[in-house]
């Protein structure tokens, strides 16, 4: 590196240990590049960011501006236009261009759009189409009956349907309803207790049908433009073939038995965790084999269960190996854990991750966390905002108030380009296991649920949210999130802009009472001149003229007024 003009503090740059790994991007996504560049004396300096395509050819050279006078801190946007490994560098030049310095090359990897953008829905196939027998027992749903539910998912405009494990379920120490240790003979077991005599991670639960049925299900979903995401859980039941044929993959107790999973005070006698220090390469090869099988069946998205309980380096090697052969495969980390681990998994290769959004409810929390994921960690961590999961019934949903469900869905769907929802949310399911618990009573993890999908529900509103996301490119980007000042702690305002697409969102965080305030728009962030401008509410269809300081009132109790506004600025 030539150091005539020092160039340092370049961002975005991502380090994974001592290794430099690419910044995450998708094609046509703008990435803000910043650097500190200094020159002795008082002469001027030209600073440029240069973008190289995957062949190493210079495709753009943008002038960087000093965005805060006197700081020597420069910025400019670059935009990768196709998939693959790109690079950028910073060049500083004297005004006559006789003297120059260049930074090292920094990588950017452009992945498929699904790595960044998606509306996810989760259901258990065994519950879809399940029926109640005359004797009170339940006839399980199958892939064939679940195919009929695909239209319901499509009507809500979801892009991804995530299925919990669809493999054979173990019998040893099987759990019953509400996690009881005394199951009845008809209890179906927990899908994450994978494996029995019918097979393991490469097999289909016979109760759900055959492999051919699954392949037909994937194709039926594709016809509705829905991608199937599978669960990839590296653990097994005591009945799994691995427990018999590969005891070297587990921790063996002094008495010769395999150690089951524990998360004190919880014990999971029905699940054996993998010991990756016993035969690391063997488990790596087996994982690659299993993933290859399901990819061959048309699956391109994997939701990885508890990746934070496995070595991070394992995921780095496995995901890299899969993506070398299949660049369009996406991995979502189900890692509700410490921030450092979640960030490390992103740097190791996970395209997306579950997040803390589920527990961020106040205005301050949402602004702080939204700013973090959009601007501070977006180079290596892509968030997927889930409003609920089979494991998590957040306290704010336990009132059952429809306005709470609508408000949280609106936030999740517009703050980030990927969000998720577990079946039953649209029916306002909200009964906890017990007071103080963030778990569902009669959890679907332990039983088959029969739901009445004919009841009035939130589904039309969910479908509208997802339709608005599809039609407005600004809502399909992460780094463009900007918050705006309001005079109320109960009203949150933010904007997203991508080219000519400019969206404003105003949300009442109080699900019970009407709130009103003045929103003070930051016109620099909006990219507009400071003057009155016109908007159309994409939820109601109403048009307004907004001023730089706009008065709003949102009443969640009014049938004609939603819990917030999604406003398209008519440029």
240 domain-assigned:
no
Largest CA distance in the chain: 90
Q: What is the span of the domain harbouring residue 363? A: 118-235+277-476
Please check whether residues 565 and 535 belong to one and the same domain: yes
- 60 and 97 housed in the same domain: yes
Q: Is the pLDDT of residue 141 over 60?
A: yes
Among candidate residues 286, 305, 426, 444, the one labeled active-site is 305
Give tens-digit pLDDT for 68-79.
Answer: 889 999 999 999
Mark which of 80, 111, 142 sits at the end of a domain.
Answer: 111
**pLDDT for res 310:** 97
Tell me which H or E stretch contains 79. strand 73-79
Tokens of 370: 């939204």
Q: Tell me phi and psi for residue 304, to 5 degrees.
A: -90, 125
How far apart CA 234 and CA 377 sit, in angstroms, is: 27
Confidence of residue 51 (pLDDT cuts 50, 70, 90): very high
Give the number of other CB atoms < 10 A from CB of residue 571: 12
Helix (H) or strand (E) holding 87: strand 84-93
Which pairs from 275-281 meet CB under 8 Å and 24+ separation?
A: 275/249, 275/250, 275/251, 276/310, 276/311, 276/314, 278/248, 278/249, 278/250, 278/251, 279/246, 279/248, 279/249, 280/311, 280/314
| For residue 1, pLDDT beyond 60 | no
Would strands 84-93 and 46-52 be described as parallel, antiparallel, or unpaired? Answer: antiparallel
> What confidence tens digit (pLDDT) does each residue in 446-470 have?
999 999 999 879 999 999 999 999 9
Mean pLDDT value across the chain:
96
Would you call 387 helix, strand, or coil by DSSP?
Answer: coil
CATH of the domain at 561: 2.60.40.1180
The helix (H) or strand (E) run that includes residue 290 is helix 280-296
Same domain for 511 and 399: no
For residue 430, pLDDT beyond 70: yes
The reply to whether 281 and 384 lie within a common domain is yes
In a domain, 491, yes or no: yes
Q: How far apart are the first and last CA of the chain?
A: 44
Q: For residue 266, is it within any domain?
A: no
Give the mean pLDDT of 388-413.
97
Q: Are residues 145 and 85 in the same domain?
A: no
Quick one: 469 and 516 in the same domain? Answer: no
Q: Which residues contact 401 (CB under 8 A, 6 or more apart)?
A: 511, 512
Closest to 152 in 3D by CA, of 211, 207, 210, 226: 226
Quick one: pLDDT at residue 3?
A: 75
Integer angstrom CA distances of residue 186 from 151, 177, 209: 30, 10, 18
Q: How far apart are CA 257 and CA 493, in angstroms?
A: 57
> Judging by DSSP bridges, how do beta strands 131-132 and 138-139 pair with one another?
antiparallel
CATH of the domain at 105: 2.60.40.10
Pair 304, 197 in one domain: yes
User: Mean pLDDT across the stretch 119-143?
Assistant: 96
pLDDT confidence band for 42 (50 / 70 / 90): confident
338-362 average pLDDT score: 98
How many angstroms separate the CA atoms of 45 and 30, rounded? 25
Cα–Cα distance measured from residue 130 to residue 407, given in angstroms and rounded to the nearest whole number? 31
Number of H helices, E strands in the chain: 11, 34
Q: Tell which of 64, 82, 111 closes a domain.
A: 111
Looking at the structure of the chain, the number of domains it has is 3
The predicted-structure confidence for 513-560, as pLDDT tens digits, reads as follows 999 999 999 999 999 999 999 999 999 999 999 999 999 999 998 876
Structure-block tokens of residue 542:
């109403």
CA nearest neighbour of 350 among 315, 306, 313: 315
Say yes or no to pLDDT of 52 above 60.
Answer: yes
* Pairing verdict, β 533-537 and 564-569: antiparallel
The model scores a pTM over 0.75: yes
Band of pLDDT at residue 224, cut at 50, 70 and 90:
very high
Q: What is the mean pLDDT of residues 136-140?
A: 94
Q: Which of 174, 188, 88, 190 is nearest to 138 (CA)?
A: 188
Residue 259 lies in a domain: no
pLDDT at position 370, please? Answer: 98
**Residue of 437, 405, 408 whose CA lies nearest to 424:** 405
Which of these is catalytic: 48, 239, 317, 334?
Answer: 334
Domain boundary among 58, 92, 111: 111
Distance CA 326, CA 365 (A): 38
Residues 295 and 387 in one domain: yes
Residue 264, pLDDT score: 78
- Pairing outcome for strands 58-63 and 118-122: unpaired
Q: Are residues 323 and 345 in the same domain?
A: yes
- For 555, the token pair is 């009443």
Considering the domain boundaries, does residue 264 fall inside one?
A: no
Within a domain: 537: yes
292 part of a folded domain? yes
Query: Which is nearest to 391 in space by CA: 352, 308, 335?
Result: 335
The b-or-e profile of 156-169 (16+ CB within 10 A means b, else e) is bbbbbbbbbbbbbb
Q: Is 334 one of the catalytic residues? A: yes
How far apart are alpha carbons 113 and 27 in whole angstroms? 7
CA distance 81 to 91: 21
- One domain for residues 104 and 127: no
Report yes or no: 77 and 32 within 8 Å, Cβ to Cβ.
yes
Residue 518: inside a domain: yes
pLDDT value of position 2: 55
Active site residue 426: no
d(Cα 337, Cα 285) in Å, to the nearest integer?
27
Calpha distance 226→157 (Å, rounded):
9
Check whether residue 141 and residue 219 sit in a common domain.
yes
The answer on 461 and 350 residing in a single domain is yes
- Rg, C-alpha atoms of the chain: 26
């Amino acid at each position: 590196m030539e150091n005539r003009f020092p160039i340092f503090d370049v961002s975005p740059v991502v380090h994974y240990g001592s290794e430099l790994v690419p910044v995450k991007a998708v094609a046509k996504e703008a990435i803000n590049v910043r650097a500190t560049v200094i020159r002795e004396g008082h002469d001027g300096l030209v600073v440029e960011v240069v973008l190289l395509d995957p062949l190493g050819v210079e495709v753009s050279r943008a002038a960087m501006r000093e965005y805060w006078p006197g700081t020597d801190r420069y910025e400019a946007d670059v935009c990768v236009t196709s998939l693959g490994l790109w690079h950028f560098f910073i060049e500083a030049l004297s005004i006559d261009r006789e003297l120059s310095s260049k930074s090292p090359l920094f990588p950017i990897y452009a992945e498929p759009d699904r790595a960044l953008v998606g509306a996810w829905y989760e259901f258990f196939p065994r519950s879809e189409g399940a029926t109640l027998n005359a004797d009170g027992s339940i006839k399980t749903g199958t892939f064939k009956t679940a195919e009929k539910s695909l239209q319901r998912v499509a009507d809500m405009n979801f892009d991804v349907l995530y299925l919990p494990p669809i493999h054979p379920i173990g019998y040893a120490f099987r759990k019953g309803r509400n996690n009881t240790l005394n199951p009845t003979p008809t209890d179906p077991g927990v899908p994450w207790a994978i494996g029995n005599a019918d097979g393991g991670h490469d097999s289909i639960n016979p109760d759900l049908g055959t492999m051919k049925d699954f392949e037909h299900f994937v194709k039926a979903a594709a016809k509705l433009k829905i991608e199937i995401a599978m669960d990839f859980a590296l653990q097994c039941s005591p009945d799994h073939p691995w427990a018999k044929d590969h005891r070297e993959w587990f921790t063996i107790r002094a008495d010769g038995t395999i150690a089951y999973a524990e998360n004190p005070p919880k014990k999971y006698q029905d699940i054996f965790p993998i010991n990756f220090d016993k035969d690391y390469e063997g488990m790596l090869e087996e994982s690659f084999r299993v993933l290859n099988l399901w990819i061959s069946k048309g699956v391109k998205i994997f939701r990885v269960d508890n990746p934070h309980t496995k070595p991070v380096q394992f995921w780095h090697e496995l995901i890299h190996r899969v993506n070398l052969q299949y660049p369009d495969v996406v991995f979502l980390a189900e890692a509700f854990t410490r921030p450092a681990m979640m960030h490390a998994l992103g740097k190791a290769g996970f395209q997306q991750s579950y997040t803390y959004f589920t527990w961020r409810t106040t205005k301050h929390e949402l602004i702080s966390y939204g700013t973090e994921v959009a601007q501070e960690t977006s180079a290596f961590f892509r968030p997927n905002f889930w409003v609920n999961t089979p494991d998590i019934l957040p306290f704010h949903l336990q009132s059952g108030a429809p306005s709470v469900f609508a408000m949280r869905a609106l936030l999740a769907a517009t703050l980030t380009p990927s969000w998720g929802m577990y079946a039953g949310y649209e029916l306002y399911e909200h009964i906890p296991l017990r007071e103080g618990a963030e778990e569902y009573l009669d959890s679907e993890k332990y039983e088959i649920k029969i739901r009445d999908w004919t009841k009035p529900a939130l589904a039309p509103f969910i479908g509208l949210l997802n339709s608005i996301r599809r039609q407005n490119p600004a809502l399909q980007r992460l780094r463009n999130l900007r918050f705006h000042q309001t005079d109320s702690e109960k009203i949150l305002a933010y904007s997203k802009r991508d080219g000519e697409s400019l969206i404003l969102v105003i949300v009442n965080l109080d699900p019970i009472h009407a709130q009103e305030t003045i929103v003070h728009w930051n016109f620099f962030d909006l990219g507009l001149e400071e003057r009155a401008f016109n908007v159309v509410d994409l939820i109601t269809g109403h048009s307004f003229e907004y001023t730089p300081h706009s008065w709003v009132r949102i009443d969640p109790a009014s049938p004609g007024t939603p819990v917030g506004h999604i406003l398209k600025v008519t440029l």
